[in-house]
C-alpha cells in the first residue's frame, strides 16, 4: 500500500483545496495505522499463544520431575535403582 502524501504542495492559505489535501493525508495515514494495528494485534496474539504453550510445557516438565522425585524417594524408580545398583556392583568389582 503505497500512497503519495501531499507535503511540499501545502499552501499557506487555508482554502478548500488545502483542506481536502489535509483530509486526504489523514485518511491515508489512518489506513496505514489500521494496518499497523492489525499486525500488532496478530503479533501479540501469536506471542500470547507461544507463552501459553511454554507455560504448559513447563508445568508438564515440572510434574514429570516431581513424579520422578517421588518415585526415587519411595524407591520405586526402576531406572534410578538400576543405575545405583550397577554403580555399586562396578565399584565392588562384581561387574565391569
pTM of the model: 0.50
Q: Is 95 helix (H, G, I), strand (E, B) or coil?
A: coil
DSSP state of 93: T
Computed on alpha carbons and rounded to an integer, the radius of gyration of the chain in Å comes to: 34
pLDDT digit string (tens) for 70-85?
988 888 888 888 898 9
pLDDT digit string (tens) for 32-65?
999 999 999 999 999 999 999 999 999 999 999 9
**CB-based contact 6:25 (threshold 8 Å):** yes
**CB-based contact 6:24 (threshold 8 Å):** yes
**CB-based contact 91:82 (threshold 8 Å):** no
Amino acid at each position: 500500500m503505497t500512497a503519495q502524501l501531499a507535503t511540499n504542495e501545502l499552501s499557506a492559505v487555508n482554502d478548500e483545496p488545502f483542506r481536502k489535501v489535509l483530509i486526504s493525508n489523514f485518511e491515508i495515514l489512518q489506513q496505514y495505522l489500521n494496518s499497523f494495528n492489525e499486525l500488532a494485534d496478530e503479533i501479540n496474539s501469536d506471542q500470547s499463544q507461544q507463552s501459553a504453550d511454554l507455560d504448559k510445557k513447563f508445568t508438564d516438565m515440572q510434574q514429570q520431575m516431581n513424579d520422578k522425585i517421588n518415585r526415587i524417594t519411595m524407591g520405586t524408580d526402576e531406572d534410578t535403582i538400576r543405575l545405583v545398583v550397577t554403580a555399586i556392583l562396578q565399584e565392588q568389582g562384581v561387574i565391569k
